[in-house]
Structure 1
Amino acid sequence: MSVTEEHRWPCAQCGADLRYNPGATELVCDHCGHVQQVAPSETRAKRDALGEIPLARGLKADREGGEISETHRSTSCPSCGAVVELQGASHATECPFCATPVVVDTGQIRRIKPQAVVPFKISHDEAHRALTGWLGSLWFAPNTLLEFVRKGRRMAGIYVPFWTFDADTRSSYSGQRGDYYYETEWVTVTVNGKSERRQQQVRKTRWSPVSGRVARGFDDVLIMASTSLPQRLGNDLTPWNLSELAPYNPDFLAGFQAEGYTVSLEAGHGAARDRMAQVIAGDVRRDIGGDEQRIGKIDTDFSDETFKHVLLPVWTAAYKYSGKSYRFLVNGQTGEVQGERPWSVWKIAFAVLGAAILAVGAAYLYDPSLFDG
């Protein structure tokens, strides 16, 4: 069993902890301001880190352990299930995804190593401004949520795990092609209370059997490997610019947290194939042509399937209202904001009441006789 590797980044001048500076290639000390450059990756190491791994090899390593796996010390959130990897000697923390207190799990879990990371590009202050603007635009939000924004509570910077999948596909299909044509029919219509007969063009569809083949290559189909974030929120943080992927370097994690994946490689691969299937179905419809298409069957052969395990930067904030947690996410590369939002029942009720009063007032001004006893 491999030994858990812990990293610390002491400042060379004062000994305080350094942190990665988003948007730069440097570590900074908040205590004395000392700056230290992140060591550049060797050319060969970069090529190996960003290269694709054969899928079969990865599936075996995820199930049995192997050369591309390692162990991590992690904590599991009892509320949302997030697995957050810990640096240093921390034993307790607050879940950054749902604000639930959690205590470190002393067990170790074998994991596939992250190969690459998109370093944080958006600073905390930039992310907070983006979140503030987004929250400020919400209607009927509770006053406590607005107070949450005004107080400027610090957001958590987290590297969220993702899988990327590549594949070449060849698909054979069968189905039907529908072509529109028109026939003239007599119909009965009512005009000024009287029935009369008229001619009308009626659209019909002529169906004919079809079959064929389509092929497509897929590159970097991105699947979020976290179950702690709502899939809609995590998937809507797109687009990601994966050309900015850098070889995994612990320096990029200084001052941030990293979540371990909770969606297995096998499950992620299944989700990626489902997404590929949707694209292939679109290819089939275009290949069938015509005005309408019916797909009877698609058989797809997959080849040259590979994957990468990468970490992508997300700023998160958790807010509790009426006993429920709400999450807000900011893409740490682009500043895109996604989030859940609570609704103030009182504000909605007052708005409905106000609208009713305005409606009654408008009706009275239009026709006061409506209100005569």
Structure 2
Amino acid sequence: MTSDVKEVKLDFDAECPSCGASVEFNPKTGKLSCPYCGYEVDIAKPEQEEQRSAQELDFYDAKNRGRFDWGVEKKTVICSECAAETIYDALQVADTCPYCGSHQVMEASTEETLAPNGVCTFEVTDKEAGESFHKWIRSRIFTPRQAKLSAKPDAFTGVYLPYWTFDSRTISYYSAQYGINRTVRDAEGETRIVTDWYSTSGVYQEFFDDELVSATRRYDRDMMRKIEPFRLTDNKGYRPEYVSGFLAERYSIGLDEGFEEAKSSIHNKIEQAIKSKVRFEHGADIVGHVSFSTTHDDITYKYLMLPIWLSSFKYKDKLYRFMVNGQTGRVGGSAPISPVRVGIAVLLSIAVIYMIYLFSQS
């Protein structure tokens, strides 16, 4: 074993007491199930109510706030079933032994990282994920008909990906300009629109609840956004049993960096909210030149593991990847595009615009 590889222990014994195979979390029953002998057992619930779901944690009290680089550190795990030694990326929390197929749930935190305090478990099975995929691809307007008929997803891989959620009470002090349009008639009798501009300022307050930020760099961010939202309130306090039978990954984007992303998203939402506020209060037609400063108070966070099905399909020798939300079945991904269908849509749009123009001139 090289000096830069750390030995870690398994955090959960996944062995079935009936037949010795590995038990895994069953999305349908919410229990641990053995796919071979049918053995099932409930996952023990915490005695204290506040431990049954993820609790809000004080942002400034958190330690180990930085990022955790993947691909740099490695760890070795001794399989409890076959005693094989496997080296994993240090980000991995759960995987399957490549030698005997047993499920391995490793330590979810280290001395350098925070531990997840919640998990939204899988509610959609891989079969249901396939059904959602077929509905999704049939709804793609610009996808060729043959692709819709022939697309068959490869085997689904269930993975729990790390996310941060942030709560923040915000106060924003703003200034803006707004315009009110009026119609004027010139000496020749022609009318035109004139905008009168005014200045305004004020205070805008809003509490942001569960602002969601992906904490992984390994997957396509745009694709991940397409499968949102998740039902974040339907979470459970983290237990290793919930991730048994799935891949799971700890965060590579740290708490501080995650909050910077959350603040950027919140900033954009506040800007739109201020524009709406000014437009409503002053009966404005246009709002522009908005500037504001925001303070964040009562900041809390949760570190959640969220469920996602990963798969792909081939069409004309090209690979298309997609994801399915493991809670809702919402699909996001890439699909083939027919240039003919796009061209027809463009021509129809031009025809509609031209008809509107002719109508307005009559």
- C-alpha deviation, 1:240, in angstroms: 1.5
Letter in 1 for 2:17: A
- C-alpha deviation, 1:177, in angstroms: 2.0
Greater CA drift, 4-13 or 310-319: 4-13
Q: What residue in structure 2 maps to residue 366 of structure 1?
A: none
Q: 2: distance between equivalents of 1:237 and 1:231?
A: 10
Q: 1:338 aligns with which of 320, 325, 332?
A: 332
Structure 2 residue runs of 5 or longer lacking an equivalent are: 1-5, 69-73, 77-86, 102-109, 345-362
Length-normalised TM-score, structure 1:
0.73
Q: 2: distance between equivalents of 1:201 and 1:91?
A: 80
Quick check: 1:224–1:235 contact (8 Å CA) kept in 2?
no
Q: 2:270 aligns with which of 272, 280, 283?
A: 280
Cα–Cα, structure 1 residues 145 and 112, in superposed 2: closer, same or farther, change >3 Å? farther
Quick check: 1:4–1:72 contact (8 Å CA) kept in 2?
no
Q: 2:223 aligns with which of 229, 233, 252?
A: 233
1:37 aligns with 2:42: yes
Q: Equivalent residues in 2 for 1:121-270 (5 A)?
A: 121-138=123-140, 149=152, 153-187=154-188, 199-270=189-260
Computing the radius of gyration from Cα coordinates, the structure with the larger value is 1
Q: 2:294 aligns with which of 279, 289, 300?
A: 300
Cα–Cα, structure 1 residues 275 and 348, in superposed 2: closer, same or farther, change >3 Å? closer
Length-normalised TM-score, structure 2:
0.75
Letter in 2 for 1:252: Y
Structure 1 residue runs of 5 or longer lacking an equivalent are: 66-70, 77-81, 94-107, 188-198, 356-373
Quick check: 1:166–1:306 contact (8 Å CA) kept in 2?
yes
Cα–Cα, structure 1 residues 143 and 287, in superposed 2: closer, same or farther, change >3 Å? closer
1:291 aligns with 2:292: no
- C-alpha deviation, 1:320, in angstroms: 6.2
1:313 aligns with 2:315: no
Task: State the percentage of identical aligned residues.
Answer: 27
Q: 1: distance between equivalents of 2:169 and 2:98?
A: 44
Cα–Cα, structure 1 residues 29 and 294, in superposed 2: closer, same or farther, change >3 Å? same
Quick check: 1:175–1:210 contact (8 Å CA) kept in 2?
yes
3-state SS in 2 of match to 1:246: coil
3-state SS in 1 of match to 2:217: coil
- C-alpha deviation, 1:2, in angstroms: 10
> Could you report, residue by residue, the CA deviation over 1:263-322 in whole angstroms, capped at 9, with x for unpaired residues?
222222111111111121122213323221123420111111111110111111134678
3-state SS in 1 of match to 2:182: strand
Q: What residue in structure 2 maps to residue 46 of structure 1?
A: 51
- C-alpha deviation, 1:257, in angstroms: 0.9
Q: What residue in structure 1 maps to residue 59 of structure 2?
A: 55
Q: 1: distance between equivalents of 2:215 and 2:100?
A: 23
Cα–Cα, structure 1 residues 27 and 292, in superposed 2: closer, same or farther, change >3 Å? same
3-state SS in 1 of match to 2:304: strand
> Could you report, residue by residue, the CA deviation over 1:168-211 in whole angstroms, capped at 9, with x for unpaired residues?
11111112121122211145xxxxxxxxxxx1222111111211
Cα RMSD after superposing both structures: 3.4
3-state SS in 2 of match to 1:206: strand
Aligned residues: 311
Q: 2: distance between equivalents of 1:131 and 1:21?
A: 21
